[in-house]
Amino acid sequence: MSGKNGKQIGQGHLATLEAYLGTGAPLPVSTKDGTLNLTELANKTGIPKSSFYQNPNVKARLEVARLEQGLVRQGERQATTEGSSEEREPAIRSTGSTTVLERRVQRLEQQNAALVAEAFELRRQLKDLRLQLGREDMMIETGRRVPAPPERA
């Protein structure tokens, strides 16, 4: 046994959280919905995840840090998803790490659009080649020339 009672352990967890927040490191954010990622925070600080829910001092300090960095709780994220995008933008842009994520999302969206366009063009070429193959098969079977369809604009 460690010889500490629950109150002392809780104060130790609060001190650990204060030390982590004192480094200036941003709170970890879930990539799925942009909310505070308590599991990753627990791994980084060594504080049990249950302490973030049960220890009122840790819970209050984490709430202050969450508000300072403009992060939302999971329940709040789902409620504001129904609102307009203008209402959500200030909370999203308040931290420096989210601007990096926004740039990455924008870059990935551009890459996705380019790949979608390329896939469309390849499907069109495949369709044209299948039609050409069908005409060639018909020429072989009938011995007659089958003209190519007129070019599309």
pLDDT score of 75: 58
Give, as one character, the DSSP assignment of residue 72.
B
> Among 65, 75, 74, 73, which Cα is nearest to 14's?
65
Three-state DSSP class for 65? helix
Q: How far is residue 56's CA from residue 72's CA, in Å, rounded to a whole number? A: 19
Domain ranges of the chain: 1-93, 95-153
Rg of the chain over CA atoms, in angstroms? 29
**What is the distance, to the nearest Å, from the Cα of residue 34 to the centroid of all Cα atoms in its chain?**
7
pLDDT score of 126: 97
The tens place of each residue's pLDDT in the chain, 153 residues long, gives 568 888 889 899 989 989 988 888 888 888 777 788 888 889 999 999 898 889 999 888 888 888 888 877 665 544 444 454 444 455 544 567 788 899 999 999 999 999 999 999 999 999 999 999 999 999 999 998 888 888 776
